[in-house]
């Protein structure tokens, strides 16, 4: 039999596990636990095994033990919830949920000192707990299932209240003076939170809105503690992957920041570009609409041809200007825009351009510039015009547009238009770097086979009317803010 797959949840040290099952004409065989097959973090000594059976519309919890639990639904189906009640944990007061059933071969691992509860979805539901300790009432802690400070979503039947034990019905709530958060906090899901746009959003939410909003991020190729692994490529292949993620988080807003942005790569792998940049977006939108979640999707100026295809409109392309992408990347983004507004009309689509700023991966244009100049390499740049957009400004404008209840398409860019050469020169001067290695080329596509739009300047008048008091930082102000953000550390990739 194969080993057990482990997926981190939105609560630190909590995992969704998927075990193997051997089936034949007689039925099936499965191991509910095997210390040689289960991954680290779950393998431990189990001191007690408990089995409970519950009928439809029963809610058990929230119960907190000093030991870990491995929960399996061997008959029926349950909505299983874990709540982080550890004050020193980075995911304190965050909850996550999964569907466990006798068909989906899934288990949830509940870390010690975390709350656990479930709501039954089938007519008769049997749950097995492997417990890392023996049940002792004196060491157990109960929390009301509907505590407003935790604000767990439960998929209750609307016709009647859940069936509760007397103990669960009278369980206490958290002390508001102890937790210091606002009740009924909203949950925002940032897909691609390890990238430059998603990272800036996470920072803005965690810094300024931690009492009002729970920010939960996903990552893919760059794992981060506290983030949920999630692949847009897989989401493009399976709507179930999207549904599972939204069940785990139950967000009020879904920000789709991740994308396949490598333009040459999109030309080489058009199927992947379609899966990641379009199909996954549509699948997420369909699942989000089903639970009344708003979608925010980041698009690009590459949906326009620029002066390569026609004369750029005076004042730049507006949101209503005809789109005519020149390459696969822009085409897949444009298709996603069109389908998104059909599937989920209240979505917010934000076209942006030349994003730069602090990011963990260190991949954007400014990092490349610093790397080249400090190593003494020539850097070839075009005189194509762009509108540099500071990622922290982009995040701030996004959140303000959400607050204002905006939907539809907005161009969210910096306030200055300049050539790539001018942008590089201004950044280098801000950093006190030698500009003699910066070279100008007449090749708009930079030696690439992928056609790029020339001077595809976006008009941001619509955004300015919506946010009249917001002014984007110019290049010099953005670099100064960036350096303050990294507190004297070298700005290197």
CA atoms within 13 A on the CB side of 159: 2
Q: Which of 122-136, 204-218, 324-338 is least confident?
A: 204-218
Q: Is 80 exceeded by the pLDDT of residue 491? A: no
Model confidence band, residue 63 (pLDDT cutoffs 50, 70, 90): very high
Asked whether residue 317 falls in the same domain as residue 451, the answer is yes
Asked whether residue 309 falls in the same domain as residue 170, the answer is no
Model confidence band, residue 108 (pLDDT cutoffs 50, 70, 90): very high
Active centre residues (catalytic)? 63, 129
Q: Which of 23-27, 45-49, 350-354, 364-368 is least confident?
A: 23-27
Last residue in a domain, options 150, 179, 208 = 179
Please check whether residue 452 is in contact with residue 302, taking contact to mean a CB–CB distance below 8 angstroms.
yes
Helix 475-486 / helix 391-403 crossing angle, nearest 10 deg: 100
Asked whether residue 338 falls in the same domain as residue 212, the answer is yes
Q: Region 371-375: what's the mean pLDDT?
A: 86
Within-domain flag for 491: no
Interior CA angle at 223 toward 189 and 14, to 5°?
70
Model confidence band, residue 38 (pLDDT cutoffs 50, 70, 90): confident
Asked whether residue 142 falls in the same domain as residue 196, the answer is no
Look up the domain containing 464 and give its range. 186-486
Structure tokens at 198: 């998603």
Mean of per-residue pLDDT scores for the chain: 91
Within-domain flag for 432: yes
Q: Is 50 exceeded by the pLDDT of residue 1? A: no
Asked whether residue 236 falls in the same domain as residue 120, the answer is no
Model confidence band, residue 94 (pLDDT cutoffs 50, 70, 90): very high
Task: Report residue 284: phi and psi, to 5°.
Answer: -60, -40
Asked whether residue 150 falls in the same domain as residue 220, the answer is no
Asked whether residue 174 falls in the same domain as residue 225, the answer is no
> What percentage of the chain exceeds 70 in pLDDT?
96
Asked whether residue 202 falls in the same domain as residue 169, the answer is no
How many separate domains does the chain show?
A: 2
Q: Is 70 exceeded by the pLDDT of residue 488? A: no
Within-domain flag for 242: yes
Within-domain flag for 492: no
Within-domain flag for 102: yes
Q: Is 50 exceeded by the pLDDT of residue 187? A: yes
Q: Which of 24-38, 91-105, 468-482 is least confident?
A: 24-38
Within-domain flag for 214: yes
Within-domain flag for 26: yes
Express each pLDDT in 237-296 by its tens digit: 999 999 999 999 999 999 999 999 999 999 999 999 999 999 999 999 999 999 999 999
CA distance 226 to 218: 9
Q: What is the pLDDT of residue 39?
A: 84
Model confidence band, residue 20 (pLDDT cutoffs 50, 70, 90): confident
Residues 6+ positions from 58 with CB-CB distance below 8 Å: 119, 120, 125, 162, 163, 164
For residue 271, the SS3 value is helix
Residue with tokens 């701030």: 396
> What percentage of the chain exceeds 90 in pLDDT?
71
Look at residues 94, 87, 93, 80 and name the one whose alpha carbon lies nearest to residue 17: 80
Asked whether residue 283 falls in the same domain as residue 326, the answer is yes
Asked whether residue 32 falls in the same domain as residue 134, the answer is yes
Euclidean distance between the first and the last CA atom of the chain, given in angstroms as a whole number = 43
Q: What is the pLDDT of residue 297?
A: 98
DSSP helix, strand, coil percent of the chain (3-state; round to 5): 30, 25, 45
Model confidence band, residue 427 (pLDDT cutoffs 50, 70, 90): very high
Model confidence band, residue 208 (pLDDT cutoffs 50, 70, 90): confident
Asked whether residue 169 falls in the same domain as residue 212, the answer is no
Last residue in a domain, options 129, 153, 179 = 179
CATH of the domain at 429: 3.40.50.720
Within-domain flag for 67: yes
Q: Region 165-174: what's the mean pLDDT?
A: 96
How far is CA 459 from each of CA 46, 247, 331, 419, rounded to the nearest angstrom?
62, 38, 20, 16
Beta pairing class for 228-229 and 213-219: parallel
Last residue in a domain, options 125, 145, 179 = 179
Q: Please spell the DSSP secondary structure of 283-303, one letter per residue.
A: HHHHHHHHTT-EEEEEEEGGG
Q: What is the pLDDT of residue 489?
A: 63
How far is CA 234 from each of CA 231, 242, 276, rounded to the nearest angstrom?
5, 9, 8
CATH of the domain at 61: 2.60.120.10
């Amino acid at each position: 039999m194969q080993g057990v797959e482990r997926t981190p949840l939105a609560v630190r040290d909590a995992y969704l596990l998927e075990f193997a099952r051997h089936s034949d004409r007689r039925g099936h065989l499965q191991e509910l636990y095997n210390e040689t097959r289960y991954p680290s973090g779950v393998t431990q000594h189990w001191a007690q095994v408990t089995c409970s059976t519950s009928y439809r519309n029963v809610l058990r919890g929230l119960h907190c033990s000093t030991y870990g639990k491995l929960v399996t639904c061997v008959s029926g189906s349950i909505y299983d919830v874990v709540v982080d009640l550890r004050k020193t944990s980075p995911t304190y007061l965050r909850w996550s949920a999964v569907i466990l059933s006798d068909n989906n071969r899934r288990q949830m691992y509940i870390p010690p000192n975390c709350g656990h509860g479930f709501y039954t979805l089938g007519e008769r539901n049997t749950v097995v707990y492997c417990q890392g300790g023996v049940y002792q009432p004196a060491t157990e802690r109960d929390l009301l299932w509907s505590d407003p400070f935790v604000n767990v979503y439960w998929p209750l039947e609307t016709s009647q209240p859940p069936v509760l034990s007397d103990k669960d019905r009278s369980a206490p709530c958290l002390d508001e003076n102890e937790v210091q958060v606002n009740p009924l906090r909203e949950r925002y899901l940032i897909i691609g939170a390890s990238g430059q746009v998603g990272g800036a959003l996470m920072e803005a939410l965690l810094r300024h809105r931690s009492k009002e909003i729970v920010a939960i991020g996903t990552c893919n190729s760059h794992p981060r503690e506290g983030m949920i692994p999630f692949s847009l490529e897989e989401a493009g292949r399976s709507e179930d992957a999207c549904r599972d993620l939204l069940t785990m988080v139950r967000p009020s807003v879904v920000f789709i920041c991740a994308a396949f942005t490598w333009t040459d790569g999109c030309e080489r792998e058009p199927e992947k570009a379609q899966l990641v940049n379009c199909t996954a977006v549509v699948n997420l939108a369909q699942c989000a609409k089903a639970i009344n979640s708003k979608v925010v999707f980041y698009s690009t100026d590459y949906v326009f041809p620029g002066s390569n295809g026609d004369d750029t409109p005076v004042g730049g392309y507006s949101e209503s200007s005809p789109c005519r992408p020149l390459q696969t990347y822009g085409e897949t983004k444009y298709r996603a825009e069109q389908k998104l507004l059909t599937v989920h009309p209240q979505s917010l689509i934000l076209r942006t351009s030349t994003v730069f700023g602090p990011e963990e991966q260190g991949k954007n244009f400014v990092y490349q510039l610093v790397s080249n100049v400090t190593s003494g390499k020539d850097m070839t740049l075009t005189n194509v015009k762009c509108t540099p957009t500071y990622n922290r400004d982009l995040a701030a404008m996004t959140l303000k547009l959400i607050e204002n209840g905006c939907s539809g398409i907005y161009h969210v860019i910096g306030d200055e238009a300049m050539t790539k050469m001018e942008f590089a020169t201004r950044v280098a001067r801000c950093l006190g770097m030698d500009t003699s290695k910066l070279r100008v080329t007449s090749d708009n596509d930079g030696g690439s086979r992928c056609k790029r739009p020339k001077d595809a300047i976006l008009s941001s008048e619509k955004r300015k009317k919506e946010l009249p008091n917001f002014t984007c930082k110019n290049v010099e102000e953005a670099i100064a803010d960036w350096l303050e953000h990294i507190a004297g550390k070298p700005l290197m990739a």
